[in-house]
Amino acid sequence: MKGAFILLNLLMFSLTFPNNFIHTQSSNYTTYTPIARLLKVPESEVPTLLAQEKTLIKGNNSAILAKEDKATNALLSINYKLNNIAIYLRHVDDVQNKEFIADAEKLNPIIIYNEPEIPEIHNKSLEFPPIEEVVFCGDGVRTSNWQTICAVGLWVRSILNSTYYIMTAGHCYDNGPYNPDGSVDFYHFPWMGSVVNDVAPGFIGPMTQPNLSVVDKAFILKQNDNIRVTASVRNTDDQNYPELMIYGSAVIDTVGAIVCKSGYFSHVQCGRILEIGAQFNFLKDGEVVEYSGLTKVERIAFQGDSGGPVYGYELSLLPGIIIAGILSSGNLAIINDWNVFTPIDMLITSDIEIITVGNL
């Protein structure tokens, strides 16, 4: 099956030219070329392929339906291997999603159900002593009541007043406990830490209530002078490259490209990009929250990894890395065999800058 983007463009052309011909520009003249020749398929297959692409265009309506029907824990994207709209759901949400499923099935998408499983992660023993005063990207952060463990995404700095913050996933705020001003305090929790033996209980600072209406991100203010900012991602399971230095950031949106993440629970894991431009819907306080523009990857994370940095894997750059975004779905209660991350261009605004080895 050919690429969806190519077929979508050809479909638009074919709507205006009869007999399955499109016009192409060659040097200084225009020719009319059969679609079958461009796609390298028999002429008889062209009507079927174009019909499938019409379904994909109509499939965009599934995103509207998801919001109207208040679908929860639903990921919507174009699956390039199957050349169709894919909707990922869980059977435990069938009651809430009943209306959405009935409406969506009329558009003939592929509906895939994922059920959570208990991971078996056997982390290597660390041979490097924890550096308590340094909070690495990928380290854990926790709340005072242990209800939330997330990962440090990126150190960022305010361009206006040079204040330092940790960027992580916004949903890490949800479980409190809340201070009188509505903020939530977070503490450093590196890979060596555990509920029984917290080796670095150092207070970092508060996270103010984030605006989660558009993107899953939040900021922890650095209030503790004993906490040191770094431009490195923790990778201390690897004796050759225990620290990965952040050289910069870039959008990585090529299906099949390898990305990695560093996080508290499963440390550094890598996988391939599966789909881009995915949309995730879930219910919060009875209202639908919709995140669009996400990148779907093979499973590289679990609960406790949310907010961790995602970066491109390029052997020639090591120990340097290029940041691609932060993880949005570490929670096993939501997904099974894949994760999604928020691309970096949706996270960085004009008033903050990522801390890199060049500006630390």
Could you report the per-residue pLDDT of 192-215, keeping only the tens digit for each? 654 433 444 689 999 999 988 889
Q: Binning pLDDT at 50, 70 and 90, where does residue 4 land?
A: very low
Per-residue pLDDT tens digits for 105-160: 877 777 877 655 544 444 444 344 444 478 999 999 999 888 899 999 999 999 99
Q: How many CB atoms lie within 10 A of CB 169?
A: 28
pLDDT at 218 over 70: yes
Evaluate whether 74 touches 63 at the Cβ level (below 8 Å): no
Cα–chain-centroid distance for residue 154? 14
Q: How many CA atoms lie within 13 A of 140 on its CB side?
A: 27
Predicted TM-score of the model (pTM): 0.70
Estimate the share of the chain in helix, then strand, then coil, as percent rounded to the nearest 5.
20, 35, 45
| Greater pLDDT, 79 or 266 | 266
